[in-house]
Amino acid sequence: MKILWVFAHPERRSLNGSLMEAGLAELAERGHDVRVSDLYAMGWKPVVDAADFPGAGAGAGTGTDACSAEGDRLVVGEAQERGYRERRLSPDVLAEQEKIDWADAIVLHFPLWWFGPPAILKGWLDRVLVQGFAFGLKDDQGRTRRYGDGGLVGKRALIVTSVGAREASFGPRGIHGHVDEVLFPLLHGTFWYTGAAALPPFVVYGADRADAKAAADAAARLRARLAELPTQRPIAYRYENSADYDGELVLRPDLEPGRTGLGVHRVDDSAAPAPAPAAAEAGAPGAAE
Amino acid sequence: MKILWVFAHPERRSLNGSLMEAGLAELAERGHDVRVSDLYAMGWKPVVDAADFPGAGAGAGTGTDACSAEGDRLVVGEAQERGYRERRLSPDVLAEQEKIDWADAIVLHFPLWWFGPPAILKGWLDRVLVQGFAFGLKDDQGRTRRYGDGGLVGKRALIVTSVGAREASFGPRGIHGHVDEVLFPLLHGTFWYTGAAALPPFVVYGADRADAKAAADAAARLRARLAELPTQRPIAYRYENSADYDGELVLRPDLEPGRTGLGVHRVDDSAAPAPAPAAAEAGAPGAAE
């Protein structure tokens, strides 16, 4: 399998640094091909701005808020889509898109800061996953390819993260919110949105207090999870282009009747999510059901 | 009222730019004092790195993953806390902390990218809201001041954002997830976590297709919302230091029995959130109930 590992931590001599080393060793031992984007080491630029669109400035944009050039006015979504189409995005962005195209699976590895990815990683998503590449594509029937389909269809995606808190406080009724729902913007809104199969996140709890023993345990758990990377059952989110949603993209009333909340967008959310490796085929979106 | 308006959009000549102009005009007309942090215009550095801690390098850190200097090893949480305590954080961070201290209310204004704030704003949170300033404080009884208490207690916080999608698709059963839950990492995990009262977010839908009429309507709606800024009832999240959570920070079984999901962390979440201005006192955390 070809795996892109995106690492967003400022210090390699850290718990997360050692976790990545263990993870990369496991993947190598299993014969996978791995490429690493170590965003801090690369000096990754996180901010979307006009410099992302070299040579832009003469195009005619019509959108109101999304960066293209209307004169010199930046309309982000349009500038990104045109830049992608015309191969005029900045070289650092094009290089990351090429890595994603190459990969069968993507690992996003970061410490959880303010319940989301550090800015450097958020900026990787903002700049790399542009319209026309990751989303905004149409299928044969003219339907938007999104949520279960899109530019990243056929790929698997895994979050590896660390938090200071204990596991119970990130559980289904824990004060921080259930970790699967706190990570919904990434799992559902980014991975699944672009067609990638979202695997259950790998979380290290109590990271602030981890001693050598805890770090070794976490590394062993990560190795075990990565062993299942090609086969683990993804989170069973619902497909947009299915009978589950109506024309307004609202869940049909007969499904999860009376319920609201992020959990309604998973099939069989109340059932125990037992791993069923046999049901999963390497990254095919159908494997999510 | 003293209001800090943090703006995170690369183009002032945009729907969001015009919204901010309308908003600032409304606040001025009402006699409020306003300061603006226009992050793109400021060239805000979003990445937490060793440059945030000038003069560090000799301190002894004990944490494993959080940037202080152990030798030259960066342990983020510790380096931030020590830097704050010793007034040795970089000047751009200190300036933003001073603005937050000054403000009675904070507005975070951004286009929603990948269901969260643009990297430049995420990096404002990552770098400015450090331990010892925004969180990690203790009360008289030695309890951690968090979720309804903390460094930002007494302040109100409002998200102003825009999305391309239609409103129904961000509703309680909409495919993107209910906007209040998609924004949970900010509303609950950042505002409420640091003690600030989280106001219901102001969202402009269909932003990609907004014509002049739609932009004017959005500006009028925003003005009306800002008129209520000092009095609007905040989201009624639960307090950490209350009887609602057990020692593991799990919601007690008699509350919302059998339910899970982010909604359980709101009091009376199922009831219609009718505005009750009389019940709200300028930013006092008690106003949240």
pLDDT mean over A230-239: 98
Give contacts of B 270-289 with A, CB under 8 A. Answer: none
Residue B285 pLDDT level (bands cut at 50, 70, 90): very low
Give contacts of A 156-195 with B, CB under 8 A. Answer: 162, 164-166, 168-169, 171-178, 181-182, 184-186, 188-190
Quick one: DSSP state of residue B250?
B
pLDDT mean over A36-56: 94
Per-residue pLDDT at A123: 98
In chain B, which residues have their Cβ closer than 8 Å to the Cβ of A185?
Answer: 114-116, 182, 185
CB contact B21 to A (< 8 Å): no
Q: Chain A: nearest CA to B270, how far in angstroms?
A: 10
Helices (H), B144-196: 179-182, 184-186
In chain B, which residues have their Cβ closer than 8 Å to the Cβ of A118?
Answer: 47-48, 122-123, 126
Residue in B248, B266, B247, B246 with CA at minimum distance from that of residue B256: B266
Q: B114-148, pLDDT tens digit by residue?
A: 999 999 999 999 999 999 999 999 999 999 999 99
Residue in A125, A52, A132 with CA at minimum distance from that of residue A88: A52
CA distances from B82 to B75, B125, B134 (A): 11, 18, 13
Which of B9, B12, B64 to mutate to probe the A interface, most A CBs <10 Å? B64
CB contact A229 to B (< 8 Å): no
Which of A7, A11, A125 to mutate to probe the B interface, most B CBs <10 Å? A11
CA distances from A26 to A31, A219, A225, B166 (A): 9, 10, 10, 44
Q: Which of A10, A174, A181 sits opposite B181 (nearest CB)?
A: A181
State CA A199 to chain mean position distance.
10
Q: Is A153 exposed, middle or buried (0-12, 13-18, 19+ CB in 10 A)?
A: middle
Say yes or no to pLDDT of B61 above 50. no
Q: What crossing angle do the helices spanning A212-227 and A15-29 adopt, rounded to 10°?
A: 40
The CATH homologous superfamily for domain B2-52+88-235 is Flavodoxin domain (3.40.50.360)
Per-residue pLDDT at A249: 98
Say yes or no to pLDDT of A220 above 50. yes
Q: How many whole angstroms separate alpha carbon B160 and alpha carbon B120?
A: 16
Beta bridge partners of B4: B35, B106
* pLDDT > 70 fraction of chain B, expressed in percent and rounded: 87
Look over chain A and give the mean of its residue pLDDT values, rounded to a whole number: 90
Per-residue pLDDT at A283: 37
CB contact A153 to B (< 8 Å): no
Q: Which residue of A has its CA nearest to B63?
A: A208
Which of A9, A38, A114, A161 to mutate to probe the B interface, most B CBs <10 Å? A114
pLDDT mean over A81-98: 96
Say yes or no to pLDDT of B8 above 80. yes
Contact B265 A46 (CB under 8 A): no
Contact A65 B16 (CB under 8 A): yes
| Number of residues that make up chain A | 289
**B100: three-class secondary structure by DSSP:** helix
Per-residue pLDDT at B279: 39
Token pair of A201 as six digits: 């996140």
Per-residue pLDDT at A279: 39
Per-residue pLDDT at B271: 53
B75's CB contacts (< 8 A; 6+ apart) are: A11, A14, B61, B63, B64, B65, B66, B67, B68, B69
Contact B10 A240 (CB under 8 A): no
Contact B189 A50 (CB under 8 A): no
Q: No. of H helices and E strands in chain B?
A: 8, 10
Q: What crossing angle do the helices spanning B91-102 and B119-128 adopt, rounded to 10°?
A: 80
CA distances from A19 to A9, A187, A200, A202, B65 (A): 11, 21, 17, 11, 11
Look over chain B and give the mean of its residue pLDDT values, rounded to a whole number: 90
SS (H, E, C) A193-211: HHCCEECCCEEECCHHHCC
Q: How many whole angstroms separate alpha carbon A159 and alpha carbon A107?
A: 6
Q: How many whole angstroms separate alpha carbon B62 and alpha carbon B133?
A: 20
Give the count of beta carbons closer than 10 Å to the beta carbon of residue B271.
9
Q: A94-135, pLDDT tens digit by residue?
A: 999 999 999 999 999 999 999 999 999 999 999 999 999 999
Q: How many whole angstroms separate alpha carbon A30 and alpha carbon A232?
A: 16
State CA B5 to chain mean position distance.
11
A69-83, A92-106, A220-234, B50-64: lowest mean pLDDT where? B50-64
Per-residue pLDDT at A83: 95
Say yes or no to pLDDT of A66 above 50. no
Say yes or no to pLDDT of B277 above 70. no
Residue B284 pLDDT level (bands cut at 50, 70, 90): very low
pLDDT mean over B17-41: 98
Per-residue pLDDT at B268: 77
Residue in A113, A185, A44, A183 with CA at minimum distance from that of residue B127: A113
CB contact B13 to A (< 8 Å): yes
Beta bridge partners of B278: none
Q: How many whole angstroms separate alpha carbon A244 and alpha carbon A236?
A: 13
At B91, the amino acid letter reads P
Query: Which segments of chain A belong to CATH 3.40.50.360?
Result: 2-52+88-235
Give the count of beta carbons closer than 10 Å to the beta carbon of residue A20.
22
Per-residue pLDDT at B65: 42
B215 backbone dihedrals φ, ψ, rounded to 5°: -65, -40
Q: Which of B16, B64, B168 sits opposite A248 (nearest CB)?
A: B168
Q: B77-128, pLDDT tens digit by residue?
A: 999 999 999 999 999 999 999 999 999 999 999 999 999 999 999 999 999 9
Q: Which residue of B has its CA nearest to A214?
A: B64
Per-residue pLDDT at A99: 98
Per-residue pLDDT at A71: 59
Q: B207-230, pLDDT tens digit by residue?
A: 988 999 999 999 999 999 999 999
Q: Which of A171, A176, A261 sits opposite B181 (nearest CB)?
A: A261
> Does residue B147 contact residue A169 with C-beta atoms inside 8 Å?
no
In chain B, which residues have their Cβ closer than 8 Å to the Cβ of A117?
Answer: 122
Per-residue pLDDT at B233: 97
In chain B, which residues have their Cβ closer than 8 Å to the Cβ of A184?
Answer: 115, 177, 181-182
Tell me which of A119 and A271 has the higher pLDDT: A119
Contact A262 B114 (CB under 8 A): no
Give contacts of A 78-97 with B, CB under 8 A. Answer: none
Say yes or no to pLDDT of B275 above 50. no
Token pair of B78 as six digits: 């510790």
Per-residue pLDDT at A264: 97
Token pair of B150 as six digits: 């903390």
Residue B22 pLDDT level (bands cut at 50, 70, 90): very high
CB contact B250 to A (< 8 Å): yes
* Residue reference for tokens 């001693």: A211
* Residue reference for tokens 């839950």: B181
Per-residue pLDDT at B66: 44
Residue A72 pLDDT level (bands cut at 50, 70, 90): confident
Q: How many whole angstroms separate alpha carbon B239 and alpha carbon A143?
A: 45
pLDDT mean over A206-218: 94
Contact B116 A66 (CB under 8 A): no
A vs B, Cβ pairs < 8 A, gives: 269
In chain B, which residues have their Cβ closer than 8 Å to the Cβ of A166?
Answer: 248-249
Residue A62 pLDDT level (bands cut at 50, 70, 90): very low
Per-residue pLDDT at A268: 77
Residue A57 pLDDT level (bands cut at 50, 70, 90): low
Say yes or no to pLDDT of A270 above 90. no
Residue in B46, B61, B203 with CA at minimum distance from that of residue A40: B46
Q: Which of B65, B188, B250 sits opposite A162 (nearest CB)?
A: B65
Contact B10 A171 (CB under 8 A): no
- Return the C-alpha torsion angle A79, A93, A189, A280, nearest 10: 130
Q: How many whole angstroms separate alpha carbon A217 and alpha carbon A202?
A: 13
pLDDT mean over A167-196: 98
